[in-house]
Structures are given as C-alpha cells and as structure tokens.
Amino acid sequence: MLKFINFSLTLFLLLTFNVVTQCSEVDEVDEFDELLALDDELERESEAGGVKFSEAETLTKAQRIVFELNNENSERIVNGYEFVLVLGYAPWCSRSAELMPHFAEAANSLKELGNSLVLAKVDGDRYTKAASFLGIKGYPTLLLFVNGTSQPYSGGFTAEDIVIWATKKTGTPIIRITTEQEAEKFLRKHHNFLVGRFDKFEGPEYEEFVSAAKSDNETQFVEVSKVELAQVLYPDIKSTDNFLGVVKSEPERYTAYDGAFTLDKILEFLSYNKFPLITKMTEVNSVRVYNSPIKHQVFVFANIDDFKNLLDPLQEVARTFKTKIMFIYVAINDENLAKPFLTMFGLEEATNTVVAAFENGMTSKFLLESKPTRSNIEEFCSNLVQGSLSPYFKSQPIPDNAEANVHVIVGKTFDEEILNSKKDVVLEVFTPWCFNCEDVSKQVEKLAKHYKGSSNLIFAKIDASANEHPEFQVNDFPTLLLYRANDKTNPIKLPTKSSLKELAASINKHIKIKNQVAKDEL
C-alpha cells in the first residue's frame, strides 16, 4: 500500500508539478513573486493555528514555488535571478521520477530558510529547445545558474542533500545558532551535520573550520558559541575548548573530532564519519557510496526480512571496524543495484544472503563462503583489513571430462589442467554471447579429433563469462591459446580466422606431436 501511495505521489508530481505555466511574458516574474507572498501568508496562518502542512499540501506548495520552464521562458528566467537551480527531467525516466519528490521537498525547505535561490524544472523531452539552451543532455540533470552562467551540480540527491549544497553555493556555508529555539528548529530539519563550538567566531582554527565548510558540498556545518547551546545539538560535549563533532540519525549518533583544526584533517574526518554504520544503497546515494574514501567496502545482499534479523550483529561488527570498512546493504532482488555486483561473483540468481567485499576501486573482490553469522562476518572483516583474505575468482562446478575430446576448464581447475599440466594445451576461450565463438568451437572439435591419440597434446575450452583465474586475463572473444608444456607463463595466441589446415600448421610449428594414432582428415 505504501509503495502505491509513493508511486501515486510521484505520478502526481510528474503530471501536475507545474508552477508558472502559460503566463504573459511581461508579468511572469511578478506573478511568481505574488505566489511566494501568498505562500508566506498561508504558512503564517498554518503556524499560528499550530497545524502542519499535510504531504499533499506540501506538494501543492511546491507547485507554487518552482518555475516550469519551456522553450519561451527559460532564458528569461535563468537570467532574471541571481541564483536558479534547474532540474532537467523526462516523464519516462525512472530516476527523474525518484528525484522529483526530493526536489519538491528541497524547494519547500529552501523557501522556509529564506534562501534567495529560485528552483525551476524543465521537461527536456517535451521542450528540446529549452533543454539545449540550458545544456541538459541527460536525465535527470541538475544545474545551478549564477547570474545566467551554469555550473554543474555536485551534491547528493536527497532533499536534505540538495538544500545543503544549494545553501552553500548561494553564500551560506555555515548556519549560526544563537538561541535554544533555533537549535531545536535546526534539529527538526537536519539529521546529519557537523557542529563546531568556538568561544569567538574568529582565529586560525575557526578560519580552517570555515574553509572546510566551503569546500564540502554534502554536510551541513553549524556553529555555536555557548556550551549549553552546543549541548542541545551534541549532548556529550563537556569541553569548553574549541570542539567539532559529527551528528548522524542512527545508533552511532555522535562522533567527536580529536585532530588538528586544519582544512585537510577536518575534511578527512568528515569523509570517514559521515556515513551511518550500515548504509542502505539506493539509486539516489549510489554515487556517494562509490566515491567513499574508505579503502574496504563490505556489501550485504539480502531480502529485507533476512537483513532485519542480521542488522543488530552486523552493526556491532561495523562498530568494531568503523572508519576502516564501509558496510553497505543492498536489496538482493534489486536488478539495477544488486545484480551487477552479484554477477561479478557468478551469483546473479542468488536469493539467500550474500556477504561480499571489495577494495576501493574494485581492484579485488572477496566472498564470505561460510554462513553469514556474526562471528564469521567479523573474522571475514578482520582478515580483509589485515590483507590476509584470498581474492575470489568465480568458477562453474567442476565438470567430468573423462570421455570428452575437448576438456571443459573452469576457474577451479585452471591450475591443475592448464598451468600444472605436463602436456601442451590448446585452450579455446569463449563467452555465450560471442558472435563468432560457435564457428571456432566447431574447428576446435575437429582439431581434437584430428590429434586424437596424441600423448602430449590436449584440447580444452573455458567460458570466460563464468570463470576467472589470476593468471587468466582475456578480453577478446573468441581466443585460442597454446600453452606449451615447457612454458605455461607465455601462451601463444593462435589465429581464429584461419582454416583447419592453417591452424594445424600453427600448432605443429610450435610443438612436436608425440604418439599420434588416429587422425581425422582436416
């Protein structure tokens, strides 16, 4: 039912989230300002009556404060205000649909904060001329126009992320709080932030804090002077010295900073501590997850019920390896987020919980092959950090090659049948989707029959899409490799576009065939 409501609201936004439509060219900006004034009056009446806007009213409110751009008004609007944040979207784009409610919520929040930024959106699929003028080439796209000149958006994609990025880019990198009422209001609106307490808002340490606030695009910085106000935001603060601390909306809520007050160190502290103990990956936050500076990332792929059962022990493990490992939960049935990762392990059809790990940049991958209990996960993580885990290479099940003319090689048998074999081996490397692989396979079968009875030459094949090995790196399919018995480290690449006689000649050129009995004609 909840999914249906969310879908309905998103559809509602896409269909009716229109602000200034076909207004006259002369009065369009003035009418927009009149709508803002009307909004202010409605908000004051609501607050006076102690009534909060419903979600539907919030969406309606967003309709009044976001410009709907078209081919005629785009240039005039982006040049008519100092700051304009434009969302380029397409009704058919699922990521646009996901971002739209966050954009609407951000519009409301920025309005309530009194920010001068104007938000606008354009259906680039419908208004191609406007999209071209604005520089929108894909969907969704966010662009900030400053006095008519665009710059790319580089923040996150939740409503709070958009608000934080926008306020920083429009001249307010830090929110200063001077009363308890302001502090409580701030807490209602912000779930993740960095708080700084300074006796005076001046001096070298404070200047480094300000520089960090301007450099970071994702975290709201807030500053206070009085210790009692700081305690509203960060209850554990006791020091009367300058103080920094990260606050997050999760069990590991408070993290104090104990380093030097320098720009680089503050940003480093923030990078390692801004994520929760367990981050749920979504389309919205995936870019931030991929760009995390934490070297090791442990992914838990599970259905929601299994993950709930695992959450408490997993958080304990995550707490142990805080700042050393980033823990990420991905719904195992998510085609866009889970399947690409699971395919890397040959587990794309998995339905039970999978725990896997990557080094930052995904240069190596690791798989927990035992049951995902707390102790097993903790040992897995410990070995990961220590560098004692063996990288995982996917493999199909070991086949029975007893009667085969062409042996099937898998990842688990590559050492035994190829590298450690005392024989010469011709290996066909293929993939199921390779266009020319079938023809080469037929040639290999005929060659295997031709050389049948040879005591020193065997023919083999491997599906490169389903099998990996650290000494096996082939990216072109089909490929034929000749592993000579006396030099397995330097396989010879044989031609794949040759006749059978030419292939046989190539093989005979490099190795001497022994004890060949049967010989089919080529």
Q: Which residues are catalytic?
A: 93, 434, 437
Q: Is 118 exposed, middle or buried (0-12, 13-18, 19+ CB in 10 A)?
A: buried
Contacts of 399 (CB under 8 A, 6+ apart): 408, 410, 413
Residue 268, token pair as written in the block? 């480093």
Radius of gyration of the chain (CA): 31
User: Among candidates 116, 127, 111, which has minimal Cα distance to 74?
Assistant: 127
**Residue 302: DSSP 8-state:** E
Q: In what helix (H) or strand (E) does residue 220 lie, and over which residues does it extend? A: strand 220-224
Which two structure tokens, joined as six digits, stand for 472? 């096996």
CB 384 within 8 A of CB 325: yes
DSSP 396-459: PPPP--TT-SEEEE-GGGHIIIIIS-SSEEEEEEE-TT-SSHHHHHHHHHHHHHHTTT-SSEEE
Distances from the Cα of 192 to the Cα of 62, 212, 218, 301, 489, angstroms: 24, 16, 10, 25, 53
How far apart are the C-alpha atoms of 176 and 222, rounded to whole Å? 6
Number of neighbouring beta carbons within 10 Å of residue 217: 15
Instruction: Give me the torsion for CA of 13, 14, 20, 22, rounded to 10°.
Output: -140
Query: How many residues are given for the chain?
Result: 522
Nearest Cα neighbor of 85 from 138, 140, 24 is 140
Cβ-contact 217, 154 below 8 angstroms: yes
Q: Which long-range contacts (CB under 8 A, 24 or more apart) does 505-514 make?
A: 506/482, 507/426, 507/447, 507/451, 507/457, 507/482, 510/482, 510/484, 511/424, 511/456, 511/457, 511/482, 511/484, 511/485, 512/456, 513/451, 513/454, 513/456, 513/457, 514/454, 514/455, 514/456
**300 closest CA partner among 377, 387, 385, 379:** 377
**Order of strands, edge to edge, in the sheet holding 365-367?**
278-280, 325-331, 296-302, 354-359, 365-367
What six digits make up the tokens of 507? 């093989």
Q: Which of 450, 455, 425, 459 is nearest to 515 (CA)?
A: 455
